[in-house]
Structure 1
Amino acid sequence: MTSASVALRAAVHAALRSDSGLAAVLGGSHVYDEPPRNVAFPYVTLGEARLSDLSGDGGTTQEHQLTLHAWSRQGGHREAHTIAGALLQALDDAPLPLGGHRLVNFRFSVADIRRERDGRTYHALVRFRAVTEPSA
């Protein structure tokens, strides 16, 4: 059986690639686990994940913290904020299918939007929190 974290990441990736609102903002399904060389802006990458054990009764309840990165060079913060909003629309409380696991909840946690050191790239870090448990 696939681990809950691998299943969650795959479900998030699939949901984002198929979301028409996000595709409209990005100009296509520009969502990557690892972006291709010389990728065109804007795009989204799946980022860091943190996994914690929430089990209290001998079960395997897990908390997942997943960071998504949105990258823009449109000029100013606006596009990065718009992409972050599209990520929220696509994922907050989404009923993501996880083979072999049950998604208890999937919620937006926090977003940070900043200009990178090069002075022209804007970077939005959008974090979500999920809780999973094995399927019955």
Structure 2
Amino acid sequence: MLSSSSALRAAIHRALLRDSALLAVLGGPRVYDEPPRELTFPYVTLGEARLTDLSVDGGRIEEHQLTLHAWSRHGGHKEAHSIAAALLSALDDAPLTLSGHRLVNLRFAIADIRRDSSRAYHAVVRFRAVTEPAD
């Protein structure tokens, strides 16, 4: 059985690749767990994750803090904002199915959009999720 964090990450990846609004903004299925060497902008990568045990009374409950990264070079600030909005729309309170686990909730936490040293715009979009084992 997959760990809760692996199951959640896989479900998020599937959901993003099926979201027509996000794919339209990206110009195709440019959502990567590990980006390829040859990249076409814009694109999204699944980033860092933090897992916290919130278990009580013998029940296993876990809190996940997940980071998604969106990258825009030619569309600039506006495109980075559009991608962040599409990520929010695709995932906030999404009813994702996880292998071996149940998603209690998935909520948008914060987005930070800035230009990096390579002159690309970088949107960092964070979500908070809570999972428990499937019955």
**TM range, smaller chain:** over 0.9
Corresponding residue of 1:33: 33
Corresponding residue of 1:46: 46
Counting only pairs closer than 5 Å after superposition, residues 1-136 of structure 1 correspond to structure 2 as: 1-118=1-118, 120-136=119-135
CA deviation string 1:27-51 (max 9, x = no partner):
0010000111120100000000000
Tell me the secondary structure at the aligned position of residue 77 of structure 1.
helix
Tell me the secondary structure at the aligned position of residue 5 of structure 2.
helix
Mark the runs of 5 or more structure 2 residues left unpaired by the alignment. Answer: none
TM-score of the superposed pair, with normalisation by structure 1: 0.97
2:133 counterpart letter in structure 1: P
TM-score of the superposed pair, with normalisation by structure 2: 0.97
Q: Distance in 2 between matches of 1:89 and 1:75?
A: 20
Tell me the secondary structure at the aligned position of residue 88 of structure 1.
helix
Cα RMSD, aligned residues only: 0.8
1:132 counterpart letter in structure 2: T
Q: Which runs of 4+ in 1 moved over 6 A?
A: none
Measured at CA, do residues 30 and 90 of structure 1 come closer, stay the same or move farther in structure 2, by a change above 3 Å?
A: same
